[in-house]
Amino acid sequence: MIKLKNISKIFDVAGKKLNALDNVSLDIPKGDICGVIGASGAGKSTLIRCVNLLERPTSGSVFVDGQDLTQLSEAQLIAERRNIGMIFQHFNLLSSRTVYENVALPLTLEHMAKEKIHEKVTALLALVGLTDKKDVYQANLSGGQKQRVAIARALASDPKVLLCDEATSALDPATTQSILKLLKEINRTLGITILLITHEMDVVKNICDQVAVIDKGQLIEQGSVSEIFSNPKTELAQEFIRSTFQANLPEEYLAKLTDTPKRSDSYPIIRFEFTGRSVDAPLLSQTSRKFNVSFNILVSQIDYAGGTKFGFTIAEVEGDEDSITQAKIYLMESNVRVEVLGYVD
């Protein structure tokens, strides 16, 4: 439904060329939810703005529903943009209009008959759960309610595609969950293809089918959510997955760790990261038996994304030095990421 082919975008900043997007290609099938994740300045906004040509790529093609938007005249593009709804981090509502009027705006601009507008806006407000707020102004709405209005307005022209530009970044965690749930529902019931950009892997984990990781203007990794979570290839993807875990060792405990063993009986604190198949095997108990080491588990967390399990365990590992080394090698060979956090006596 959305196909980006070799998109590059070069900005001219004070006479210098800035390559905001570098040969990006992305193919999102109809009905999928795709998340593009990246750090600040990676090129996420530029990428999503290229999909409806709010930003015109320097080179490459943008296909939406089979139509190459870069080849259209301005008038054709305006017509084609009706197929592409967009919502933003800061909602972009008109403060002088009521909820009803904000949602009705795209239809009023299309000169739709008043009764038809009424029918449509009423249905959209019901869909986003704001029927009782129709006469309220945005100053009297919460962040989550404002985003619901923006979603209803974006859906008014029956788009095939919805672009979400950091749509939950200004919202608290509970409101974020409710907006993500609404987006998923819209995707499922209306069959709308969704492209969202985010810097939070939790968003991807919650609703996406596909994920692409962007770094310095390049898509460095992409695949299904289950593929990326079970086998992240780049350090950046691994970092984003790690960021979805809340649990960690208490600061007081971390402060006690030394970088190298202080005494012959010091033992390491190791963080084991499990992805995909390595989660399902009883690897720690196998390792314990095989190499005569013991794991005193301090923290452990397992999560799910795209039907895949992933997680980590931090443990004190006791045993003689050689056995611990062999145990680490065995676990690494079993696709476990092993990181020594430090040593305790």
Ligand X SMILES: Nc1ncnc2c1ncn2[C@@H]1O[C@H](COP(=O)(O)OP(=O)(O)OP(=O)(O)O)[C@@H](O)[C@H]1O
The span from the CA of 225 to the CA of 204, in Å, is 8
Is there binding between residue 11 and ligand X (CB under 6 A)?
Answer: yes
Contact window for ligand X (CB under 6 A) among 33-41, 60-68, 224-232, 251-259 = 33-41
Q: Of 50 and 336, which CB lies nearer to ligand X in the complex structure? A: 50
Residues numbered 125-144 forming contacts with ligand X, rule: CB under 6 A: none
Is there binding between residue 17 and ligand X (CB under 6 A)?
Answer: no
Q: Of 54 and 298, which CB lies nearer to ligand X in the complex structure? A: 54
Contact window for ligand X (CB under 6 A) among 36-44, 128-136, 180-188, 277-285 = 36-44
Q: Residues, the chain, total?
A: 345
Is there binding between residue 46 and ligand X (CB under 6 A)?
Answer: yes
Q: For residue 38, which amino acid is it?
A: G
Binding residue (CB under 6 A) for ligand X from 7, 24, 26, 38: 38
Instruction: Give the distance between the most distant pair of CA atoms in the chain.
Output: 83
Residues numbered 258-317 forming contacts with ligand X, rule: CB under 6 A: none
Backbone angles phi, psi at 163, to 5 degrees: -100, 130
> Which residues is 210 bridged to in the sheet?
34, 224
Contact window for ligand X (CB under 6 A) among 44-52, 176-184, 248-256, 305-313 = 44-52
Find all residues with CB under 8 Å of 250, minimum gap 6, and list them: none
Q: Of 6 and 325, which CB lies nearer to ligand X in the complex structure? A: 6
Question: Binding string to ligand X for residues 173 to 212, with x set by CB under 6 A, is what?
Answer: --------------------------x-------------
Backbone angles phi, psi at 270, to 5 degrees: -120, 140
Instruction: Give the number of residues in contact with ligand X, rule: CB under 6 A.
Output: 13
Q: Which residues bind ligand X (CB under 6 A)?
A: 11, 13, 18, 20, 38, 40-46, 199
